[in-house]
Structure 1
Amino acid sequence: MNRASTTNGHPTTSALAQGGYNAYFAQVEQSADEGVGANVTGAAPAEQVEHGSAAASVQPPRESAPPPQGAGGPPSPPAPPVPPPVPPQTSATPGPGSTATVSDVGAQREGPAQGPTAGPGYGAGASGGAAPTSSTDRFGQWADPAATAASAERQQAHSAAAPGQERPAATGDRFTHAGGQGASNVDTSRVPDRIARYDHRISVLPPALASPELLADIAAVRQAHLQSSSGVRGALNKVGFSFGLSPIEQRAEDRRNRIRRPLTTPYQIAVVSVKGGVGRTTTAAALGSTFAKLRPDRVAAVDANPDFGDLSTRTVRHPYGLTLRDLATAAHPLDSFSAVHAYTAVNAADLAVIASPWTSDASDALSGDEYATGVETLRRHYNLLLVDCGTGVLDSVTDTVLRTSDAVLVVTPATVGGVTGAVATLNWLSSHGFDHLIATSVVAIVHHHPVKPTVDVAAIEKLFASAQRPTCRLPFDTHLAEGGEVDLRLLDKETVLAFEELAAGLADDFPRYEVGPAGAGGRL
């Protein structure tokens, strides 16, 4: 019974190796006589079937028929039990027209066939790929003898290509060895041995050669650098030159880097003076704006004057009139920064200002407890606090400010009375146990008039230098003399430079950490 093969464009042997309709009928219609004849003579494949990248192997010969007798040979003994499959052995292939001996038939029964799967136009597979003696296939169809002989030669060459090695057999779309093992038995000769080529450890630079001192010598010849933008250098740079910073610009960069010194804990600076009208509030507003403009962290200015605090009039007023007392007596918790920030007003320099609760209708002055409660909340969200104190050093709020401060700025005018008040302030701090504030104190000498002062300012600086206290001159400025809101953009360059020097002098006393040999830091 001949049926037209239905392979859907695939080779017939590939369809038989995969199973299916044709493979089913090929096995059913095979007669016992044809199976015996095929096993006796030994079938050779007509073509080599490829599936993917490996060749498909034939199915083992049917064992239902007894092995036949060879030509002229004695009758074959009963077949022994079939042992487990073993790797095939390479043997010589008999030529066309020869018959297989009993030993050849036994080899077929012991090992799996290595040829293509039997199907229409092919004989049954035999070990070693022996050539058939008949010109008809297993279904009785005519097979070309020349093509069959050529296929036998190719099968013989393929079997003898790698003696002593197993050839993978195709089972479906997975390749296994003759022993039925999985992917773990894949021929390792085809896998590139990349690990063996890198069995030794690659040496790297030792840590001593990677030190910053030695690597600094490998810097680029033409490194990028800051260029001058003012003066003659700046003018030449605009027409194609590349001059670096001038000495004045370099000092300005160093000064601003000192102001940006990082803070590890909240830091509070008290601005004090026992004499009124010396420019204490104006100095606090301009100094706080300078810190807020140049520092990346949060800076706040607090008006702690219990009498007539006007810090908000020199900076910015709160749109709803909230004060430090409102912050201290808030009914809801102030855990987030946005909740605390609602009680502050921010000026053009990003300085947060907390106003004093003093008004013309107020009956109670700001107390020390209210200040302590409000500042405790501010310390959780602001790194740097500047507090404008009143003239009465004996007030409870001023005493609380001094006890919670880390440094003090004493403001004095360039007059004999002002210098006398500054000296009295330092003496009072020393006599009341605030020596730690004197060690970090700075004296600011304020010029209130554009003309030259009547006193010798150098003598005043020498007086405070004898007490080992630094001083800073604040020149007269028309914008500050107006008495309105302080805007750093409207100040003279000399005044801006003076306040930056004052801020850098105070920042030099900021606490810092020094890293030890083991990496442990300690506060200085």
Structure 2
Amino acid sequence: MSARGPGWTSDPVAEDRSGGDMVPPAPAVLLGRRALGRQPVATQPVVAPAAWALVPTPSHVLPPRAVPAELRGESSVDGLWLRAASLRPGGALVCVSSADGGVGRSTLVAALGSLLALACPQPLIAVDMTGRPWGGLAHRVRRRSPGTVWDAARHGGGLTDRGQVQRWTQLGPTGLEVLTGEPEMTSARRPPLYSEVAVLVAALRRLYPVVLVDLSPADQRSTWTALAWAAAPVLVARAGVDSLQHTMRLVARMRAVGLADVVERCVVVVMETSPSPPRQVRAAQIQAAQAVGDLVPVPYDGALARPEPVDVRSLRRVTRGALMRVAVAVLNRCPADPHLVATTQPETTGRDEGTS
């Protein structure tokens, strides 16, 4: 174990894989106890402050037939938008991992971020924390600057406003800001260490109401640590019996080492890879749903299968409805400001059309 601090190693690739008890310590550098309400907050009504105009619900993006049955009705969908408007910097840390690689983890981060960016009045950010010099979020946004997560991580805790961060972010079609992975491995540039990105994430949480983190697969101690301290830990599985079984083994392992509370908060998202998954996959999903807090299948969508920027508005209706369900599950786990009691009227500008 490195001297960098509890829970961190000096090399994200050379993590502890000994198979021993992996009870992750709480790294103060990532987020503090008081800053993060770790229990679901869905029971408390939330109203956006008068100083913030609500982003209008995009009915052309989420028409009634695209909204899951349990979310139909004006109050339910608008409730999601209100909760998004109530988020404040310091609370909503969403960490996305998986039991295996190649399951669509970065795709989900980009798609979920694309939807939440429509609802949140303030900008939100996604961070590539995988430590890989290839793939990941870089394929899911259009490049507007040469910056990467390496540039932001070098400044780490010295970041004090969003303008500094935006020098290095890429921009998604609906306004999601993204710090993509560093592709170079030279003496001048390299993928930052996990501990370096942890300091960066702590700084970003002070500036953004939602920070989505694309983590490595959960076979590393550092990934377990991040999942344990996320307001909304998310595990992504491929719609196959083997991937679902591996995910359930991971869930069982987490319970065995004392992380049952993380499992209860966990959202499992199953990415379907064909229009008609086999019957045995459906059966495995039903069984898996009994072991976690929420399980949401995301149907196959050709737009998600291509390594291109993700715009939730261009997805199939059924896909948009599934992502809405994921967003509800995630935001219900994120602490909102309980003291916001002023009312407001939705603004009539074209924010729901997204940004370019």
Class of the TM-score when normalised by the shorter of the 2 chains:
0.5 to 0.7
Cα separation, 1, equivalents of 2:338 and 2:159 = 34
Matched, 1:469 2:293: yes
Q: CA separation of 1:393/1:297 partners in 2, compared to 1, >3 Å: closer, same or farther?
A: farther
1:480 aligned residue (265, 279, 304): 304
Amino acid at match of 1:366: P
Matched, 1:251 2:76: no
Residue 432 of structure 1 deviates from its aligned partner by 4.4
2:206 corresponds in structure 1 to 380
Cα separation, 2, equivalents of 1:354 and 1:444 = 23
2:155 match: secondary structure: coil
1:444 corresponds in structure 2 to 269
Q: CA separation of 1:423/1:496 partners in 2, compared to 1, >3 Å: closer, same or farther?
A: same
Aligned ranges 1:412-423 → 2 under 5 Å: 412-423=237-248
Cα separation, 2, equivalents of 1:408 and 1:435 = 12
Q: CA separation of 1:310/1:317 partners in 2, compared to 1, >3 Å: closer, same or farther?
A: farther
Q: CA separation of 1:336/1:470 partners in 2, compared to 1, >3 Å: closer, same or farther?
A: closer
1:497 corresponds in structure 2 to 321
C-alpha deviations, 1:262-288, integer Å up to 9, x for none? 225421111111211111111111011
2:104 aligned residue (264, 279, 282): 279
Structure 2, unpaired ranges of 5+:
1-58, 340-356
Q: CA separation of 1:335/1:449 partners in 2, compared to 1, >3 Å: closer, same or farther?
A: same
Alignment TM-score, normalising by the size of structure 2:
0.67
Amino acid at match of 1:338: G
Residue 470 of structure 1 deviates from its aligned partner by 1.6
1:454 corresponds in structure 2 to 278
Cα separation, 2, equivalents of 1:459 and 1:257 = 32
Cα separation, 2, equivalents of 1:418 and 1:302 = 24
Q: CA separation of 1:249/1:465 partners in 2, compared to 1, >3 Å: closer, same or farther?
A: closer
Residue 505 of structure 1 deviates from its aligned partner by 1.5
C-alpha deviations, 1:358-392, integer Å up to 9, x for none? 43658855312211221122112101111111125
1:368 aligned residue (191, 194, 199): 194
Q: CA separation of 1:324/1:498 partners in 2, compared to 1, >3 Å: closer, same or farther?
A: same
Figure out how many residues of one structure are paired with residues of the other and give that number: 270
1:129 corresponds in structure 2 to none
C-alpha deviations, 1:46-78, integer Å up to 9, x for none? xxxxxxxxxxxxxxxxxxxxxxxxxxxxxxxxx
Amino acid at match of 1:372: A
Q: CA separation of 1:352/1:252 partners in 2, compared to 1, >3 Å: closer, same or farther?
A: farther
1:100 corresponds in structure 2 to none
C-alpha deviations, 1:6-33, integer Å up to 9, x for none? xxxxxxxxxxxxxxxxxxxxxxxxxxxx
Cα separation, 1, equivalents of 2:256 and 2:322 = 31
Q: CA separation of 1:327/1:249 partners in 2, compared to 1, >3 Å: closer, same or farther?
A: closer
Q: CA separation of 1:290/1:404 partners in 2, compared to 1, >3 Å: closer, same or farther?
A: same
Q: Is the 8 A contact 1:414 1:453 kept in 2?
A: yes
Aligned ranges 1:249-328 → 2 under 5 Å: 250-251=72-73, 254-261=76-83, 262-264=86-88, 265-307=90-132, 308-320=134-146, 322-328=147-153
C-alpha deviations, 1:229-277, integer Å up to 9, x for none? 89xxx9xxxxxxxxxxxx9995365134225412254211111112111
Q: CA separation of 1:500/1:461 partners in 2, compared to 1, >3 Å: closer, same or farther?
A: same
Structure ID, larger Rg: 1
C-alpha deviations, 1:174-231, integer Å up to 9, x for none? xxxxxxxxxxxxxxxxxxxxxxxxxxxxxxxxxxxxxxxxxxxxxxxxxxxxxxx89x
1:96 corresponds in structure 2 to none
Q: CA separation of 1:337/1:253 partners in 2, compared to 1, >3 Å: closer, same or farther?
A: same
Cα separation, 1, equivalents of 2:289 and 2:160 = 44
2:13 corresponds in structure 1 to none
Cα separation, 1, equivalents of 2:70 and 2:337 = 30
Q: CA separation of 1:371/1:338 partners in 2, compared to 1, >3 Å: closer, same or farther?
A: same
Amino acid at match of 1:287: L
1:271 match: secondary structure: strand
Matched, 1:347 2:169: no
Cα separation, 2, equivalents of 1:395 and 1:359 = 25
2:216 match: secondary structure: coil
Residue 483 of structure 1 deviates from its aligned partner by 1.8
Q: Is the 8 A contact 1:358 1:366 kept in 2?
A: no
Q: Is the 8 A contact 1:266 1:382 kept in 2?
A: no
Q: Is the 8 A contact 1:316 1:353 kept in 2?
A: no
Cα separation, 1, equivalents of 2:334 and 2:96 = 16
Amino acid at match of 1:418: S
Structure 1, unpaired ranges of 5+:
1-228, 235-246, 516-524
Matched, 1:334 2:156: no
Q: CA separation of 1:325/1:342 partners in 2, compared to 1, >3 Å: closer, same or farther?
A: same
2:30 corresponds in structure 1 to none
1:508 aligned residue (332, 346, 351): 332
1:329 match: secondary structure: helix
- Percent identity, please: 27
Larger RCO (alpha carbons 8 Å, 6+ apart): 2
Q: Is the 8 A contact 1:255 1:501 kept in 2?
A: no
Amino acid at match of 1:251: G
Q: CA separation of 1:471/1:323 partners in 2, compared to 1, >3 Å: closer, same or farther?
A: same
Cα separation, 1, equivalents of 2:129 and 2:80 = 28
Q: CA separation of 1:364/1:430 partners in 2, compared to 1, >3 Å: closer, same or farther?
A: farther
Amino acid at match of 1:316: R
Alignment TM-score, normalising by the size of structure 1:
0.47
Residue 394 of structure 1 deviates from its aligned partner by 1.3
1:391 corresponds in structure 2 to 217
Q: Is the 8 A contact 1:314 1:486 kept in 2?
A: yes
Amino acid at match of 1:480: L
